[in-house]
Amino acid sequence: MKPIGPHTRGVYIIAVTPFTDQGDIDWGSVDSLVEFYIEKGVSGVTILGMMGEAQKLADTESTAFAKHFIERVGGRVPVIVGVSHAGIDNLVRLGKSVMDFGASGVMIAPAGGLKTETQIYDYFGTVFERLGPAVPVCFQDYPLGTGVNISVPALLRLVDDHPSFIMFKHEDWPGLRKLGQMRRACDGTARRRISILCGNGGLYLPQELQRGADGAMTGFAFPEMLVEVCKKFLDGRGEDAENLFDVYLPLVRHEQQIGIGLAIRKEILRRRGAIKSAAVRAPGPRLDREDNEELERLMRRLERRLSATGSRSPDIAA
């Protein structure tokens, strides 16, 4: 597969990890999920992220999942693999394995417990050195999830010192100013360019694109919306992009409920035929009757709003 680079753009969808109702990896649903994402027009896929329940997988499961997923994609789009781990040896082992399988790069978040920017710098310095210069790295900046905060000057020091720092996943919250500062500093003129993709469930995607993001790296269960919004914006049709985003906003917001959002996302993907079960591996939430009725109302409302605007309704099953 082609490696990620400084001009990588578009939608790198964060993939869920499908499980059976008993909690095993559902390999059949892995295959159908790959086809679903590619059919919706994504530029690439990111697997084993936080919303992919990577922390609930055994090391052998992570390796097997990455190998199977990459083989199923078959080079049709790039695949980035999350390899974050509390132990650097485990991180490097998985990182090198997935690159051998054909990954286009790896995504790494700072390990929990790093309190100072010197600690963060030293940690990533070791990681970059151990992985080697041929492994493109996406730095995941998600303080809300990791508890680790890093400033723009510290990030730029890493960019300057480590050429394999290719992509920045912006998920600081609030963080639009930080995004803008990173884009201006890494624009190919002030210093070398890096790609910037954004997460946070897509909640702020129009504003992030306006601030200079190259696209999205998040897992919203209607990836075609993310694809179309990014395409319209990058084509200079920002107002059209925001109008489309507004139609989906209630579901974007609904998916971002702390504690239950992943269960909602998986249920939507199940209803759309991408996976067979909405199971979240234990410990994890399950939707009750009221949750499902509420989701049903929101999805039917989306259908009506898209129909009213003349847009094609998404495939929504009962």
Q: For position 316, what pLDDT does the model report?
A: 65
Report the run of H or E that residue 46 belongs to, with start and end.
Answer: strand 44-47
Q: Which residues contact 13 (CB under 8 A, 6 or more apart)?
A: 37, 40, 42, 44, 45, 46, 217, 218, 219, 223, 226
SS3 state at 78: coil
Q: What is the pLDDT of residues 202-232, one digit of tens each?
A: 999 999 999 999 999 999 999 999 999 999 9
Write down the pTM of the prediction.
0.96
- Which domains can be identified in the chain, with CATH numbers? 10-308 (3.20.20.70)
Closest by CA to 132, choosing from 108, 156, 164, is 164
What is the pLDDT at residue 314?
Answer: 65
Listing DSSP states for 121-169 in one string gives HHHHHHHHHHH-TTS-EEEEE-HHHH-----HHHHHHHHHH-TTEEEEE
Measured in degrees and rounded to the nearest 5, phi and psi for residue 284 equal -165, 160
Report, as ranges of residue numbers, the positions in the chain whose pLDDT lies below 70: 312-314, 316-318
Report pLDDT digits (tens) over 151-181: 999 999 999 999 999 999 999 988 899 999 9
Count of beta carbons in the 10 Å neighbourhood of residue 283: 6
Question: What pLDDT, on a 0 to 100 scale, did the predictor assign at position 311?
Answer: 72
pLDDT tens readout for residues 126-153:
999 999 999 999 999 999 899 999 999 9
